[in-house]
C-alpha cells in the first residue's frame, strides 16, 4: 500500500447540480491531504452525462469550492500537464483503452437487449441469486461478435469479471476490504451509443492522471473492485483508496433535500461564515485531538492525516454549525465583519452600496457582533435602528401599551433634551424618571428600549443612543409610544 509515487489527488464532481455538502467535504479532505504532504490537488469534471450537464452547475461548483478557500493545481480553469480536465474532451483517449480491452478480451460485446437483460435479472432474483452476465454474449467468440457488430447488431461493451476471485484492497479508513467477483455482474463499460460509463472513465482517468490516492465518499466503496480490475487489466499501479464516511441528515440517512439544505450554495446564501463552515466540515468525521474544536487552516494542515478520519457516518448538526459561526463572527475584526455583513444589509435595503466606510454602520455591527450567528441575521436584528421608525414586535407593543409607558418615555425625553448630549450617565437619568414616577426601573427601561429599538432585546441602551443620535432618540421616545399602540 505504501507506494512512493508523488501524491496526486483529485476531486471529480459532475456538473449536474449544485455542490453538495458531502462533496464539499470530500473536496476539503482531498485538498487538506494534498496540502499537508506537498502533493497536487486536481479538479476533474466528470461530464459524460451530456443530458444532465449544465454550465451553470459547473460555475457554481467552482464558485463554491473557491468560497470554501480551496485551490487546485490542475483543473478545467487553470489547465495542467494531464489535461483535458473535462472528461467530455478526453473521449479520444478512452478509445484506445476500449480497443485494447476488446483486443485483450476483458471487454466483450453484449448483444442482449435491455429488455432481455431485465428478464434474466428477474429470473435470477426468483432463483435467489445475482444476475451476472448474458451467457450467450459472454461466450461468443471474438470473430463472431465482431461480425455481428459489423452487420449492425446493437451492443454494449461489458467488462469480463473473473468467474471466482476475491478482489481485496487496503483502504486507509476501512482497512482491508474484500469483494468476491461472483457478487459483481459484468457491468456495462461502454453504452450502446459508444459513450463509456463512469466506472471505466474514472479508472482510466485516475490512471492517466497518475492519481496516487483516491479519497471519496463511502458510496463509492462498491465501485472500487470494478475500478481496480481496470487498473490491473491496464497493468498500471493501483491508487491507494480512502473512503470517507457519509454525511447524514437528521434522519440518519444520507443527507438529502428532504432533511434540509444540501447544497453548499444554500449555506453561502444563508450567510454562514466561510471559515466556520470550513472548520465545521472538517470536524464531521475528522478530529485533531480530544479537545480542539476551532482551528485555522494552517493548524489543520499541520495535523491532517487520513488515519484520523473516522469510519462512521456523521449527522449534520446545524445547531453546532450555528454556534461555530457565531464564534467565528465574535473573533472577527470589525472592518472584516462589516464587509461580510454589508451585502446582506444592501439586499435588505438598509444601506447604500458604498456604506462599508460608514461610521454608523460600523457602530451598529459592533453593537450586535456577539448577538448573531449568520451574516443575514444582522440586518434582521438591527433593522429597527435604520429607518425613521422601527417595526415593533409584539412584546415591544405590549411594553409600550403598558400603564405609564408613554409617560415614562416622554418624561425621559424631556430630561434628555435638557441634558448634555450624549448624556454622561444615562442610567442615572432613567433612575430619576423611575423614582419620580414611583415605579420600578423595569417599568421605564422596557418601554424606552421598546420605543427606541422596536424590540425588548439588544445592545446596551447607551450604544443605541449613540447610534441613533439625539434627534431620533427624542423623536422615537415621544412619537413611538403613541404610534405603536395604533
Partner RNA sequence: GGCCCCAUCGUCUAGUCUGGCCUAGGACACCAGGUUUUCAUCCUGACAACAGGGGUUCGAAUCCCCUUGGGGUCACCA
| Residues assigned a catalytic role | 257
Please state, in angstroms and rounded to a whole number, the distance separating the CA atoms of residues 64 and 66.
Answer: 5
Q: Which is nearer to RNA, 352 or 441 (CB)?
A: 441
Pairing of strands 240-244, 175-180: unpaired
- Provide the CB-side half-sphere exposure for 412 (13 A, CA): 37
What length does the chain have?
486
Q: Which is nearer to RNA, 290 or 471 (CB)?
A: 290
CB-CB contact of 67 with 80 (8 Å): no
Q: Which is nearer to RNA, 84 or 223 (CB)?
A: 223
- Positive/negative CA dihedral, 309, 40, 16, 64: positive
Q: Which is nearer to RNA, 333 or 353 (CB)?
A: 333
Q: Which is nearer to RNA, 66 or 191 (CB)?
A: 191
Question: Comparing C-alpha atoms, which of 167, 162, 281, 264 is closest to residue 221?
Answer: 167
Q: How many CB atoms lie under 10 A from the CB of residue 94?
A: 21
Unique residue bearing C-alpha cell 450555528 = 322
Q: Distance of alpha carbon 113 from its chain centroid, rounded?
A: 40
What is the nearest approach in angstroms of RNA to the Cβ of residue 56?
Answer: 17
Q: Which is nearer to RNA, 136 or 352 (CB)?
A: 136
Backbone φ and ψ of 131, nearest 5°: -70, 135
| Grid cell in block for residue 317 | 448538526
Q: Distance of alpha carbon 349 from its chain centroid, rounded?
A: 28
- Helices of type H across 127-263: 135-139, 142-150, 198-208, 224-234
| Grid cell in block for residue 77 | 480553469
DSSP 301: H
Q: Which is nearer to RNA, 7 or 221 (CB)?
A: 221
| Grid cell in block for residue 156 | 454494449
Contacts of 305 (CB under 8 A, 6+ apart): 36
- Provide the CB-side half-sphere exposure for 390 (13 A, CA): 31
244 in helix, strand or coil? Answer: strand
b/e map 437-471, b = 16+ CB within 10 Å: eeeeeebbbbbbbbbbbbbbebbebebbbbbbeee
What is the nearest approach in angstroms of RNA to the Cβ of residue 170?
Answer: 11
What is the nearest approach in angstroms of RNA to the Cβ of residue 357?
Answer: 26
Amino acid at each position: 500500500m505504501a507506494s512512493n509515487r508523488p501524491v496526486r489527488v483529485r476531486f471529480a464532481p459532475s456538473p449536474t447540480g449544485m455542490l453538495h455538502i458531502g462533496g464539499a467535504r470530500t473536496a476539503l479532505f482531498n485538498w487538506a491531504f494534498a496540502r499537508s504532504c506537498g502533493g497536487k490537488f486536481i479538479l476533474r469534471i466528470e461530464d459524460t452525462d451530456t443530458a444532465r450537464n449544465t454550465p451553470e452547475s459547473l460555475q457554481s461548483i467552482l464558485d463554491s469550492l473557491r468560497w470554501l478557500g480551496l485551490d487546485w493545481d490542475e483543473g478545467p480553469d487553470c489547465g495542467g500537464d494531464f489535461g483535458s480536465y473535462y472528461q467530455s474532451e478526453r473521449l479520444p483517449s478512452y478509445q484506445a483503452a476500449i480497443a485494447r480491452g476488446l483486443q485483450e478480451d476483458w471487454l466483450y460485446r453484449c448483444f442482449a437487449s435491455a429488455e432481455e437483460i431485465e428478464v434474466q435479472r428477474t429470473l435470477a432474483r426468483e432463483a435467489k441469486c445475482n444476475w451476472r452476465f448474458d451467457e450467450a454474449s459472454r461466450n461468443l467468440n471474438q470473430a463472431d461478435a465482431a461480425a455481428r457488430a459489423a452487420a449492425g447488431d446493437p451492443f454494449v461493451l461489458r467488462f469480463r469479471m473473473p468467474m471466482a476471485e476475491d478482489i481485496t484492497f487496503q483502504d486507509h479508513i476501512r482497512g482491508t476490504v474484500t469483494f468476491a467477483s461472483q457478487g459483481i455482474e459484468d457491468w456495462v463499460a461502454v453504452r450502446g451509443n459508444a459513450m463509456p460509463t463512469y466506472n471505466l472513465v474514472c479508472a482510466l482517468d485516475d490512471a492517466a492522471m497518475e492519481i496516487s490516492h483516491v479519497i471519496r465518499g463511502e458510496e463509492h466503496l462498491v465501485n472500487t473492485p470494478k475500478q481496480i480490475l481496470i487498473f490491473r487489466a491496464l497493468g498500471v499501479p493501483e491508487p491507494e483508496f480512502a473512503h470517507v464516511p457519509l454525511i447524514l441528515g437528521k434522519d440518519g440517512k444520507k443527507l438529502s433535500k428532504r432533511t434540509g439544505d444540501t447544497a453548499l450554495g444554500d449555506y453561502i446564501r444563508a450567510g454562514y461564515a466561510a471559515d466556520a463552515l470550513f472548520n465545521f466540515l472538517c470536524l464531521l468525521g475528522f478530529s485533531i485531538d480530544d479537545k480542539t474544536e476551532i482551528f485555522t487552516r494552517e493548524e489543520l494542515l499541520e495535523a491532517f492525516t487520513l488515519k484520523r478520519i473516522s469510519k462512521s457516518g456523521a449527522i449534520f448538526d446545524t445547531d453546532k454549525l450555528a454556534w461555530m459561526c457565531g464564534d467565528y463572527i465574535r473573533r472577527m475584526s470589525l472592518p472584516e465583519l462589516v464587509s461580510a455583513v454589508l451585502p446582506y444589509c444592501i439586499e435588505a435595503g438598509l444601506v447604500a452600496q458604498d456604506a462599508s466606510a460608514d461610521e454608523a454602520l460600523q457602530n451598529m455591527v459592533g453593537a450586535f457582533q456577539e448577538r448573531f450567528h449568520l451574516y443575514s441575521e444582522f440586518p434582521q436584528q438591527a433593522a429597527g435602528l435604520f429607518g425613521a421608525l422601527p417595526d415593533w414586535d409584539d412584546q415591544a407593543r405590549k411594553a409600550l401599551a403598558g400603564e405609564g409607558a408613554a409617560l415614562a418615555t416622554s418624561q425621559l425625553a424631556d430630561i434628555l433634551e435638557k441634558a448634555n448630549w450624549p448624556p454622561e450617565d444615562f442610567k442615572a437619568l432613567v433612575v430619576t424618571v423611575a423614582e419620580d414616577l414611583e415605579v420600578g426601573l423595569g417599568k421605564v427601561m422596557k418601554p424606552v428600549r421598546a420605543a427606541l429599538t422596536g424590540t425588548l432585546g439588544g445592545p446596551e441602551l447607551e450604544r443605541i443612543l449613540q447610534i441613533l443620535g439625539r434627534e431620533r432618540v427624542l423623536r422615537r421616545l415621544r412619537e413611538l409610544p403613541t404610534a405603536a399602540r395604533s
